[in-house]
Structure 1
């Protein structure tokens, strides 16, 4: 089933322009996002192939089946709640039955989680992006040996520096476990005139994920002890992998915009942080949902990168505290009335199917 099918079959209950054009933060080149609600024909609803959602390939046009729409409303999902607060100039079509849905009937303290906690997650995401931009990982990954150190007196020295200082090669070395001590190894170096067949420190300096142990003849004395910072290596590998996955998957246009404004944060992402937090505070204080934002200029200043990253994060965190306080004192119900929502859903479906059968 496609969105075109929904239109041709007359199954759409509500359709509207959403996103930046509904918020009032759009620019001349902004995309036009569409959201809506549809209802399955009676036979398809009762059959085995329930369709909860239909979207286009880019996912900027999304329509929810009536039941799925109500399920998300009961969770205070921001995207579907915003449909109920769509500005009149963004409404494309609205079936008379859909008028029974009002945002005020679904707003609850769950919005603290669905709006504000999502915004907090975006702040963390912004911090991660800032770190990635300011601390890029080189294209070549470090090796296990970069996390190995050799005891020298009361201190330690990077193993590769230690090897170079003593004129040893990796192939001359052998490692053996030190009982009861995690990631500490006795380091042996064989005499070239009397080799013991040591296996070296790693199997392959570029690809190995661990140090390599050797069989050491009895009576051999270690020349030093080697410590492998395994936790540090594991953390480094995760950060390296995440960084290069981000490079591979990042939105090129948004990244270029981030670099161009020079503030090293995703400006569009930070715009939504403030939008969501401000909407959450309004919901807690007034019990109303305002989709069209009254502070377009401020939000567009964020999008243009006119603020320092640290300033925005500080303001956002202060706004989070205000939102928490507002919901703690709010008279909103803890959650929407599930029974009333279910009755509305049943009644609307019955009315639709009854009209369709005439």
Structure 2
């Protein structure tokens, strides 16, 4: 398999092993899988000796999903890092130019392990899903990566009172999706603010005033988890494996730039390029710590690079020939055709 065979990595043989028995035995998978390929660092070309192997794919919905009462969105096997999306869910994510799913349609030929006729047809029609929505979706994912870098810097280098302000901003950013989802929220309110600490170990700390009525428990749990994860991440300061943590930071920095690269390709060329083999020198320099300083922050050169890619994406967005939104009539005709075939399988 080209560059992978050189390292003795036979992914098709791996896929046929007992660890991946579910690919053959699960009723939702088997011959209903139309695409299966590499994910993560092996998909991007940024793998190293200790990289995990991820598989990502698409499977047809069952007739009971399409005509009956069953529902299915995706299959996950955590032991093998395998995620396989239901076709209908995949379409919804592609319509928003979701980066994680766009990647599946942008692999090199040798990176696909399963590709049926319908899988090839989906690849041939991937242009149906590309639009200027990529600016928002890829930009949102890139923003999340940037916040991780900023958060790490704040954890380790800012005074406690400044760290608390940074945590507050991070929590607000983490809740951004929740607030957008409930823009006309009439079930209560939440107010976050900093005041003199009640905790004797702190000078200041974040307080919350919250009042809700008839709020779905799952929505509350999602909101609470978002805040809890940010606080927990900051509280790990001084308790982490430095080398492992630096590795994660550099990985976030690399993915930040990679996301901009992919978005620019979509906007400028109307194509999805997941394998960044032509950009590996730069990406691996970032991945290997080439832009990280001794204090664990990133150099001005890295932020200049980031600003350049942000500017290029803005320019590509203005000049792109892509539509603002996909042509839904064409998308619906394609989806209906595929699902009619799925009903007969």
Instruction: Please say whether Structure 1 and Structure 2 have the same fold, judged by a TM-score greater than 0.5.
Output: yes
1:6/1:38 contact within 8 Å kept = no
Equivalent position of 1:317 in the other structure: 307
Equivalent position of 1:257 in the other structure: 244
Structure 1 residue 65 and structure 2 residue 70: aligned?
Answer: no
Higher helix share: 2
What is the alpha-carbon distance in structure 2 between the residues aligned to residue 48 and residue 63 of structure 1? Answer: 21
Structure 1 residue 329 and structure 2 residue 329: aligned?
Answer: no
Q: By how many angstroms is 1:56 displaced?
A: 1.5
**Would the alpha carbon gap of residues 290 and 12 (structure 1) be closer, same or farther in structure 2, given more than 3 Å must change?**
same
Moved more, 28-37 or 112-121: 112-121
Instruction: Provide, for residues 238-283 of structure 1, a one-character-per-residue CA deviation record: whole Å limited to 9, x for no partner.
Output: xx98775115679x99853344x7xxx8000010011010111122
Structure 1 residue 13 and structure 2 residue 34: aligned?
Answer: yes
TM-score, normalised by the number of residues in structure 1: 0.65
Equivalent position of 1:306 in the other structure: 290
Equivalent position of 1:342 in the other structure: 332
Equivalent position of 1:187 in the other structure: none
Instruction: Provide, for residues 134-173 of structure 1, a one-character-per-residue CA deviation record: whole Å limited to 9, x for no partner.
Output: 24869xx9xxxxxxxxxxxxxxxxxxxxxxxxxxxxxxxx
What is the alpha-carbon distance in structure 2 between the residues aligned to residue 244 and residue 112 of structure 1? Answer: 29
Equivalent position of 1:160 in the other structure: none
2:58/2:86 contact within 8 Å kept = yes
5+ residue gaps, structure 1, are 142-201, 210-231
Instruction: Provide, for residues 55-78 of structure 1, a one-character-per-residue CA deviation record: whole Å limited to 9, x for no partner.
Output: 123683111111101111111111
Equivalent position of 1:107 in the other structure: 130
What is the alpha-carbon distance in structure 2 between the residues aligned to residue 284 and residue 205 of structure 1? Answer: 50
Q: 1:233 aligns with which of 196, 204, 227?
A: 204
1:78/1:114 contact within 8 Å kept = yes
Correspondence 1:27-176 to 2 at 5 A: 27-57=48-78, 60-101=81-122, 102-135=125-158
**Would the alpha carbon gap of residues 88 and 136 (structure 1) be closer, same or farther in structure 2, given more than 3 Å must change?**
farther
Q: By how many angstroms is 1:235 displaced?
A: 3.9
Q: By how many angstroms is 1:41 displaced?
A: 2.3
Correspondence 1:250-289 to 2 at 5 A: 256-259=243-246, 266-289=249-272
1:6/1:12 contact within 8 Å kept = no
Instruction: Provide, for residues 174-230 of structure 1, a one-character-per-residue CA deviation record: whole Å limited to 9, x for no partner.
Output: xxxxxxxxxxxxxxxxxxxxxxxxxxxx9x9849x9xxxxxxxxxxxxxxxxxxxxx
What is the alpha-carbon distance in structure 2 between the residues aligned to residue 91 and residue 254 of structure 1? Answer: 36
What is the alpha-carbon distance in structure 2 between the residues aligned to residue 326 and residue 34 of structure 1? Answer: 31
**Would the alpha carbon gap of residues 247 and 13 (structure 1) be closer, same or farther in structure 2, given more than 3 Å must change?**
same
What is the alpha-carbon distance in structure 2 between the residues aligned to residue 86 and residue 205 of structure 1? Answer: 52
5+ residue gaps, structure 2, are 1-21, 165-196, 209-226, 293-297
What is the alpha-carbon distance in structure 2 between the residues aligned to residue 242 and residue 72 of structure 1? Answer: 25
Q: Over aligned residues, Cα RMSD in angstroms?
A: 3.4
Higher alpha-carbon Rg: 1
2:155/2:234 contact within 8 Å kept = no
State the SS of the aligned residue for 2:313.
Answer: helix
What is the alpha-carbon distance in structure 2 between the residues aligned to residue 6 and residue 112 of structure 1? Answer: 37
